[in-house]
Structure 1
Amino acid sequence: MIDVCLLGTGGMMPLPNRLLTALLVRYNGKCILIDCGEGTQIAMKKKGLSAKPIDVMCFTHYHADHISGLPGMLLTMGNAERTEPLLMVGPKGLEKVVNSLRTIAPELPFEIKFKEINGDEMSFDLEGMPEFTITAFKVNHNITCYGYTMNLRRQGKFNVEAAQEKGIPRDFWNNLQKGETVTTDDGITYTPDMVLGEERKGIKLTYSTDSRPTDSIVRNAAGSDLFICEGMYGEPDKLQKAKEYKHMTFYEAAKMARDAEVKEMWLTHYSPSLVNPMEFMSDTKKIFPNTIAAKDGRSCTLRFTE
């Protein structure tokens, strides 16, 4: 299962009841933070979450409302006596941007490792967790910007009958079930495909903000259990403004969710001028019924389905 918490839903500037965009994802003891806008630490405190165990930080792009909370976050992590390395992922220029922000947080008791995204799409696994893949994909904003898809794969069921028929010792069943190849002292090798069925449906989460509608979002979000997408404007008369500043409306996001055939969509990254997103949900749901106008702190647990 994957735990998801949308820490902030605001765009451009924080408001008293709407902090800037950030998403926290947890899987099997690993914590991934996507974007770190101003107020992210406050949002985490409200949810009873600690910054210390964050293993990976992914940035969509380097506009201030998506990264302005980073220096304070790093200081808090350092003051918590963290020593484990922190992996940062983002568009070209990542190390330069982060080191510039670290002028006010120069000394940290942990190493920062950088992974810059190259090209239109790049995938990588979490260390020690080959079943969990993060894919960054380029979107259409006024500077280089990426969305992120997380895939948790689920292997096939263990076939006890097959293991017995092949005479595989029970001591090796657990290793094979974990996808490991084992070899006996006699030199006999057993592989997972000998006892595992076809791979089952996993869990898919997609997150995209700051973009015009684009095929790359629809393609990468296809079949997602949860699609978190920017809805900068709910007012129909803001379409031209959305096009000018490379953002999107509720209705454009809903059309992408429909085309990608996702299970559920949460809207986020609202304009400060958008006081009550719920006012525009009726027309949005006509396009994609399972749309939610998310608020700060919205959480869920994505589970495997049989």
Structure 2
Amino acid sequence: MFDVCLLGTGGMMPLPYRWLTSLMVRYEGSQLMIDCGEGTQIAAKEKGWSFKPIDVLCFTHYHADHISGLPGLLLTMGNAERTEPLLLIGPKGLERVVCALKTIAPELPFPLEFLELTEREQEIQAGPYQIHAFRVNHNIVCYGYSISIPRAGKFQVEKAKELGLPVQYWNPLQKGNSVTYEGKTYTPDLVMGPERRGLKVTYCTDTRPTPAIVEAARSADLFICEGMYGEPGKEQKAVEHKHMTFAEAARIAKEAQPKEMWLTHFSPSLNRPEEYMDDVRRIFPRAKAGKDGKTKELKFDEE
């Protein structure tokens, strides 16, 4: 299954009761993390999730509360005798920023690979994940991400039999590989039905509302969106600092219609986000206040 864990929900600084915003997902033995602020390692340890299987690490932007935990994380992964490459994805300048942070973690037993985002929208295939990166509106260059798990069509036994393919060739075709039998090559599309609905998580933080977020979150299984301010009277402050209020996030969800929305990236002054959720749910009923360690297991639609 596709497991999603909101490791932390805080913005600006870690608090005794709230870690900085970070997301981790895992699927078939692979893990992907988005953002790694101070304390992210502790948040993951509290949840009981390992660092070693992380294959992809995405960054929304390079403010300290989203990346300052990286050197320690890299050292921990190295101490776990990791040797596999780690792919890092983020806005332009990623390699320069990471190499500066890496001066306190200079010797790693695994290579770092960098993919710098330069377009307003980019599509990336990384392991089992289809990643859609989209530019949002913060006071520095910042991206949101949709992480999707595609789902192939059903294997059509009758078509395989009509083609005369022996059973031992069926499994490779199901896995998306072409096979050769009696001098002829057979491709998966010959025996696979139309692609089925997969799974999608959309994550964005540190931004004003933009149409790009609506499009990215449309029909997502889970939409995780910043809600810096929940209290009344914070609208102008949200505009000035290029963040969002709970109500603004809810209106995005109302338009995008994900199955569920979690709010995150709460201001340090916002002690009890749940107190303001009734107003949010009047706009989008399937909204929840995020909390550290909040987890959801996403499952493919039954057929």
Q: Does 1:165 align with 2:166?
A: no
Q: Following TM superposition, by how much is the alpha carbon of 1:219 offset from its aligned partner in structure 2, in angstroms?
A: 0.6
1:155-304 equivalent positions in 2, closer than 5 A: 155-184=152-181, 186-304=182-300
Which is worse superposed, 142-151 or 155-164? 155-164
1:5-154 equivalent positions in 2, closer than 5 A: 5-127=5-127, 129=128, 132-154=129-151
How far, CA to CA, are the matches of 2:293 and 2:176 in structure 1?
36
Unaligned 5+ segments in structure 2 are none
How far, CA to CA, are the matches of 2:247 and 2:180 in structure 1?
56
Query: Secondary structure at 1:4's aligned position in 2?
Result: strand
Which is worse superposed, 278-287 or 101-110? 101-110
How far, CA to CA, are the matches of 2:22 and 2:223 in structure 1?
14
Unaligned 5+ segments in structure 1 are none
The code of the aligned residue for 1:145 comes to C
**TM-score using structure 1 length:** 0.96
Query: Secondary structure at 2:301's aligned position in 1?
Result: coil
Query: Secondary structure at 1:61's aligned position in 2?
Result: coil
The code of the aligned residue for 1:279 comes to E
Q: Following TM superposition, by how much is the alpha carbon of 1:56 offset from its aligned partner in structure 2, in angstroms?
A: 1.1
Q: Following TM superposition, by how much is the alpha carbon of 1:173 offset from its aligned partner in structure 2, in angstroms?
A: 1.0
Q: Give me the CA root mean square deviation.
A: 1.0
How far, CA to CA, are the matches of 1:95 and 1:122 in structure 2?
18
Q: Following TM superposition, by how much is the alpha carbon of 1:292 offset from its aligned partner in structure 2, in angstroms?
A: 0.6
Q: Following TM superposition, by how much is the alpha carbon of 1:77 offset from its aligned partner in structure 2, in angstroms?
A: 1.3
Query: Secondary structure at 1:236's aligned position in 2?
Result: coil
Give CA deviations for 1:263-292 in whole Å, capped at 9, x if unaligned.
Answer: 000100000011110111001000000101
Query: In percent, how many aligned pairs have the same letter?
Result: 65
Which is worse superposed, 108-117 or 159-168? 159-168
How far, CA to CA, are the matches of 1:39 and 1:263 in structure 2?
30
How far, CA to CA, are the matches of 1:115 and 1:234 in structure 2?
35
Q: Any runs of at least 4 consecutive aligned residues in structure 1 with deviations exceeding 4 A, and if so which?
A: none
How far, CA to CA, are the matches of 1:171 and 1:210 in structure 2?
51
How far, CA to CA, are the matches of 2:255 and 2:120 in structure 1?
21
Q: Following TM superposition, by how much is the alpha carbon of 1:165 offset from its aligned partner in structure 2, in angstroms?
A: 2.2
Query: Secondary structure at 2:233's aligned position in 1?
Result: helix
